[in-house]
Structure 1
Amino acid sequence: MFTNMLIFAAILPGPEVKGLPVPTENNRQYTYKCNALASWYATLLLVAILHLTGIIRLTILADQFGSVLCVAVICSDILSVIIHFYAIHTKQTCRMTHSPIYDFFMGVWLNPRIKILGQEVDLKMLAEVRLSWLLLFLLIIPAALKQYEAFHTISWPMIFILTAQLLYINACMKGEECIPTTWDIFYEKWGWMLIYWNLAGVPFVYAFHAYYILVNSLRTHKPVEDTSTIFIIILFIVLFLAYYIWDSSLSQKIRFRMQEQGTYISRNAFPQVPWNVIKNPKYLKTECGSSLLVDGYFKYCRKPQYTADICMAMCWALSCYQWAGILPYFYPSFFIGMIVHRYTRDMARCAAKYGEDWKIYCTKVPYAFFPGLI
């Protein structure tokens, strides 16, 4: 899979987008070939051919879930060691500290790139946008196929979690051109934390709900009993509403930045939700040069995308309602904790960067997550 993604990244068509200037490299702007959507479609076709022809039955991944997880963990650790010492050996380190453990954990290489078929491929971008989400896809589809193989039907909770996560995966692929200007790509180095999270954390933590539904349906031999149609319909309604707000608000924010920097490109990848770009947006000009968006969703609260993301995470957990247990709620609990930490980090960073302008912004947009409440 890793080899396929490297080749796809090198040869498939896609728009080229410039990232933010990198201060530690004389404000160099790296170019990113955003062909994740083409890679996604190519992977769908390849996987369908392999499964339908019987060359590789996808259900083997469900049968060997534990083994695949162990391989992912081991490969993440090995790759982290290789990347760490390669960056040191080739003198491509950045912002080193006096703690070797911290440097290994957080990384020492900011822009890890290698040549594939004559093309530069950014490994950090590849892992964040493609490997993590495509591996998730290759885990959840086998769970549904395994349930169908056992019962000749796929339960509504399984259909729900597949819908929810395929929407999420597709959104990451279709919006790849928005990623190069994000904090992860611009500032965070590619160390054990990001490598492990992208290759072992995201796919297996996110796939948990599909396997919780699968394992319990196999254990009880009741995949469709005790399913409340009304509850599932409510979950779908909340999911689609939350997804719409999440997708459109993220698009508004990032494309506002891209318009400001002159890197905005219009794309028509499915689905392009309404109100994803604000025409003539209102913004607060700051003394440091950049602008703060105070229009669209962002005139009501500062982090609407976080609220929508939390709602989707809760929907994922609630899809497992047929079986009592707290494990499905690990992900939303972890996610809320991460969001709170990220929010406090962002607030401190923005206060230091914008100074008095940040106080003015917080006066204009006083709510963080939900207008009128918090």
Structure 2
Amino acid sequence: MGEPGKEFGGTPGNIGLMIFSHVLPFYFCLSLKYSSGGIYWPSSFADFFIDFKNCCTPTITAFLVYIGFFLIQLFFAAFLPGLKVKGLPVPTENNFQYSYNCNALYSWYLSLILAAVVHITGIFPLTYLANNFGSILCCSVIFSDILSVIIHFYALKTNQTCRMSNEFIYDFFMGVWLNPSIWIANRRVDLKMFAEVRLSWLLLFFLIMSAAVKQYELYGYISLPMIFLLTAQFLYVNAIMKGEECIVTTWDIFYEKWGWMLIYWNLAGVPFVYAFHAYYILENSKENQQNSSVPFILLLFIILFGAYYIWDSAQSQKNRFRAKQRGIYVARNTFPQLPYGTLDNPKYLKTQAGDSLLIDGWWKYARKIHYTADICMAFCWAVSCYQTPGILPYFYPVFFTSMILHRYQRDMERCQQKYGNDWKIYCKKVPYAFIPGLI
């Protein structure tokens, strides 16, 4: 069965995105090193290669640190206790349902404890990540590219492919293997879910923690903007960890194949690109610098908490509704449990395809209201860099918004194809996509 259509501009677009995705994190890294997060423009190619060599050369130690983190998280995923959850039936595999051991929350807290212990004891100072940002970035890029090649050809060799286009670059970019997994002592770890939930977000948080610790060691304080970012990222990562069982039934796990796009961005792109704001603040810190405007930071916190509340509770409503519909809902007391996160007897639209579309709670106001909240949080991260005005901090929210809009378009096309006339009825009942009353 072939791909129904070419995503991301087909092969030419895939090549362009792969080149762009490799250039972007290294450019940000050089910008931080040589321009304090401003526009980096070397005077010659020779200067560029010298700067790159000095900043981003991989080392054996950096490689061991990155691989060590990967293996520790893999061990946690395999052996820590967790909630056992069944995935959706996979049509390309005779409707087989994979089982998932959702223990990310335990991995998250245990990782935080271990990080504190190894830092305090001096076994592994957290500042190593900040001091060797470029080297670890390069190791992550190399590793993700090699892993992408291995996964692609192993899937071909073992005939574990689906929805092939028979265009090599396109299939390599989008992936050919839907449910890649590894077995450790008879315990299955889904690699796609493992990379998306654990590796990307945990490494991102540790990179930001490293920037905060280094700021304190250099200047004797952690600035309010840095505290804001730590808080924002803690909330975000914690939400992903505490709701891991909800991710099992998402589009990423159920439909997206594990190709270069997901592998690279989970293992290299997300942690090192999204950490830019923390390092921008670090690079522009000064000794005895006065903290930024308290009222402005308080306003940012208010906006952040409001957006986070909508984002978390909206996704909780939807995922718990789906779980109850399938009879697999399990109440959990993970922190934080927000009000309005569970709907009692919600209104929904029953479709001919057999699914139910929620039209209650936050979801009666806009079809993708959680995207709006997510975008709002992304802009808050960028605005937290306001003490030293610049353009590059705003790349992430602009990039993220464009990615979200593209994802929205893909989702609309898929839903229209799946639900037909029911989707038109649903869109009439919930006419707005992002902001009630506007769009």
Taking structure 1 as the reference length, the TM-score comes to 0.97
Among candidates 199, 224, 227, match of residue 290 of structure 2: 224
Matched residue, 2:125: 57
Return the alpha-carbon distance in structure 2 between the equivalents of residues 64 and 355 of structure 1: 52
CA deviations on 1:287-323 (whole Å, 9 max, x unpaired) are 1111110000011111110110011001000000011
Residue 269 of structure 2 is aligned to residue 204 of structure 1: no
In the alignment, residue 12 of structure 1 is paired with which amino acid? L
Among candidates 256, 271, 276, match of residue 336 of structure 2: 271
Return the alpha-carbon distance in structure 2 between the equivalents of residues 366 and 204 of structure 1: 37
Q: CA deviation at 1:223?
A: 4.1
Return the alpha-carbon distance in structure 2 between the equivalents of residues 356 and 92 of structure 1: 34
Q: CA deviation at 1:138?
A: 1.6
Return the alpha-carbon distance in structure 1 between the equivalents of residues 290 and 222 of structure 2: 8
Q: Which runs of 4+ in 1 moved over 2 A?
A: 220-225
Among candidates 238, 242, 246, match of residue 178 of structure 1: 246
- Identify unmatched segments of 5+ residues in structure 2: 1-68
Matched residue, 1:90: 158
Residue 173 of structure 2 is aligned to residue 105 of structure 1: yes
CA deviations on 1:40-94 (whole Å, 9 max, x unpaired) are 1111111111111000111011011111111111110011111111111222122
Among candidates 92, 105, 109, match of residue 24 of structure 1: 92
- Identify unmatched segments of 5+ residues in structure 1: none
Return the alpha-carbon distance in structure 2 between the equivalents of residues 287 and 154 of structure 1: 55
Matched residue, 1:332: 397
Residues 224 and 85 of structure 1: CA distance in aligned 2, closer, same or farther (over 3 Å):
farther
Give me the CA root mean square deviation: 1.0
The secondary structure found in structure 1 opposite 2:284 is: helix
Return the alpha-carbon distance in structure 1 between the equivalents of residues 145 and 279 of structure 2: 24
Matched residue, 2:309: 244
Matched residue, 1:359: 424
Residue 134 of structure 2 is aligned to residue 77 of structure 1: no
Q: Given that residues 77 and 192 in structure 1 are in contact (C-alpha distance below 8 angstroms), is that contact kept between their aligned partners in structure 2?
A: yes
User: Residues 296-335 of structure 1: matches in 2 within 5 Å?
Assistant: 296-335=361-400
Residue 231 of structure 2 is aligned to residue 156 of structure 1: no
Among candidates 110, 118, 132, match of residue 200 of structure 2: 132
Return the alpha-carbon distance in structure 1 between the equivalents of residues 432 and 105 of structure 2: 35
Q: Given that residues 6 and 116 in structure 1 are in contact (C-alpha distance below 8 angstroms), is that contact kept between their aligned partners in structure 2?
A: no
Matched residue, 2:55: none
Return the alpha-carbon distance in structure 2 between the equivalents of residues 180 and 222 of structure 1: 48
Q: Given that residues 112 and 124 in structure 1 are in contact (C-alpha distance below 8 angstroms), is that contact kept between their aligned partners in structure 2?
A: yes
Q: CA deviation at 1:349?
A: 1.5
Residues 272 and 28 of structure 1: CA distance in aligned 2, closer, same or farther (over 3 Å):
same
The secondary structure found in structure 2 opposite 1:367 is: coil
In the alignment, residue 284 of structure 1 is paired with which amino acid? L
Residue 115 of structure 2 is aligned to residue 41 of structure 1: no
CA deviations on 1:136-195 (whole Å, 9 max, x unpaired) are 122010100000001111000000011001110111100000001000000111111000
The secondary structure found in structure 2 opposite 1:16 is: strand
